[in-house]
Copies of this chain bind each other. A is one copy, B any other.
Amino acid sequence: MNVESFFSKSTKEALQNDPPGEWMPALPDECIRLSSGYPAPHLMPDKEIKAAVARLLEEEKDQPLHYLGSPKMEKLKEQILDRLSIRGMNVSTDELLITAGACQAIDLIARVLIDDETLVVIEAPTYMEALEIFKNYTNHFISIPVDEYGLQTDLLEEVLVERKEKGLSLPRFLYTIPTFQNPTGTTMTEERRKHVLELSAKYNFLILEDDAYGELHFDKHSTPLKAMDTDGRVLHVGSLSKVVAPGMRIGWIAATSEFITALAWFKKDLDHPFAQATMAVYLESIDMQERVETLRATYQANCSVLLSALEQYLPKSASWYVPNGGYFVWVKVTGDTSELLAPALEEGVSFVPGKYFFLDQQDGTKYLRLSFSYADEKRIVEGVKRLGSVLK
């Protein structure tokens, strides 16, 4: 029996264009994980989640274990809407869809918007998982570089002008991580934010704003595109993975209700009553603002330690952007970072080779992504020291 013969056309195309590939090798146990975009272990709220589950199940008994479950699920929506409003996003209940993390949100949006002929604009570099998701639906991309001020909107405009002149198709949406971008750590300036919104109106495309790191600023914060959008063009994707716990799988899409109705219709894993209600009770039990302040302070300290270590241990030829928040530092070196990974792992430190973040993997050869979120200060220094010895 030929299994592949049963696959749909789009499945066959997706698997052919982008076969499930090798990803990072398994990391040795003792390895210092500068590759992992995970929250700091000591900031994970395991005690509080334990207490939240106890309270939830004592109060509501079987309710959160059923399909339709707990009244706390509506509470979670309110809590998320409150967090959004603090950052200038005024969203109503029917404009919010809870998802199993940001990845499901991105996949759902792709499912609803992308044909095999749809043109999508992505940043170069961009979040590799999102790129993999889009490649499951289309093979048509425009890749626009990111610099220290975020997406280079002038270059995007040039491409749009040229395509329009030539009568070529225009993109259906832009996928961007404007704030503390993954992997560069850089943030789109306000000027560029305005510019990209103007372009979206002029060339009639949507913006998928991935804002997973938006709350984790060190000092000045940026206004989300969603808060500047007067036109309903921004589909805002957020997540509690970076500020609470990824294992709970709580993310969302905020968009106009017409989008949310369609997205909800194609979301067929149903609600996740136990996880959603637990999260709501957890959020009730803590001061989220205080928690976010703690995260910011910790990650800012970690980042500062990482940057000093880079200065001290990396070859003079290496360079990087200085982030103002988020989880990552993007480093440019002289060698091929894919080839440097094995020796680095042998030294006991991991990073993500730049190639994974680009549509054309060749563009990423000289880059690597370091995370300052997961390892503690001491291990960050030791990790960079080991990385330095590999690079030299």
Q: Across chains A and B, which 6 residue pairs bring their CB atoms closest together, nearest first? A: A44-B62, A247-B273, A65-B245, A104-B269, A107-B268, A100-B269
State how many angstroms separate the Cβ of A93 from the closest Cβ of chain B: 16
Docked Cα-Cα span, A67 to B241, in Å, equals 9
Which of A15, A61, A112, A173 is the most central at the interface, judged by chain B CB atoms within 10 Å of its CB?
A: A112
Bound together, the chains give a CA A20 to CA B259 distance in angstroms of 13
- B66 near A246 (CB under 8 angstroms)? yes
Contacts of A7 in B (CB 8 A): 112-113, 262
Q: Please determine whether B58 and A262 come into contact, CB atoms closer than 8 angstroms.
A: no
> Which interface residue of A8, A99, A103, A266 has the most chain B CB atoms within 10 A?
A8
Q: Is the CB of A47 within 8 A of B57?
A: yes
- Residue A319 at the chain B interface, CB threshold 8 Å: no
Kindly state the separation between the CA atoms of A274 and B231 in the bound complex, as whole angstroms.
38
Q: Which residue of chain B is the closest to A70 with respect to CB atoms?
A: B247
A128-153 toward B: CB 8 Å interface, digit per residue (1/0)? 01000100110000000000000000
Closest B residue, CB atoms, query A138: B8
Kindly state the interface size class of chain A when it binds its partner. 35 or more
A249, B270: Cβ atoms closer than 8 Å = yes
| Residues of chain B within 8 A of A261, CB atoms compared | 20
Q: Would you call A1 an interface residue if the criterion is a C-beta within 8 Å of the partner chain's C-beta atoms?
A: yes
Using A45-B65, A66-B245, A100-B100 as known contacts, list a sample of 9 further A-B pairs with CB atoms less than 8 Å apart, ordered by residue number in A: A1-B232, A3-B259, A8-B113, A54-B54, A106-B268, A245-B274, A246-B273, A247-B273, A269-B269
Which one of B8, B245, B273 contacts A112 once the chains associate, using CB atoms below 8 Å? B8
Q: Which residues of B contact A1 (CB under 8 A)?
A: 231-233
CB distance from A202 to the nearest CB of B (A): 13
Contact B118 A15 (CB under 8 A): no
Select one of B6, B114, B256, B269 contacting A206, CB under 8 A. B6
The oligomer's copy count stands at: 2
| CB contact list, A197-233 vs B, under 8 A | 206, 231-233
Residues of B with C-beta under 8 A to A107? 268-269
- Chain B residues with CB under 8 Å of A114's CB are 8
Q: A105 to nearest B CB, angstroms?
A: 9
Chain B's nearest CB lies how many Å from the CB of A68?
Answer: 8
6 A-B contacts, Cβ less than 8 Å apart? A3-B232, A3-B258, A44-B62, A49-B57, A101-B270, A274-B278
Does A172 reach chain B (CB closer than 8 Å)?
A: yes
Contact between chains at A3 and B115 (CB < 8 Å): no
Known: A8-B115, A268-B106, A270-B101. A38 touches B66 (CB 8 A): yes
Of B53, B133, B262, B274, which one neighbours A11 at CB under 8 angstroms? B262
**A361 near B: Cβ within 8 Å?**
no
**Is A50 in contact with chain B by the CB < 8 A criterion?**
yes
- Residues from chain B with Cβ under 8 Å of A106 in the complex: 268
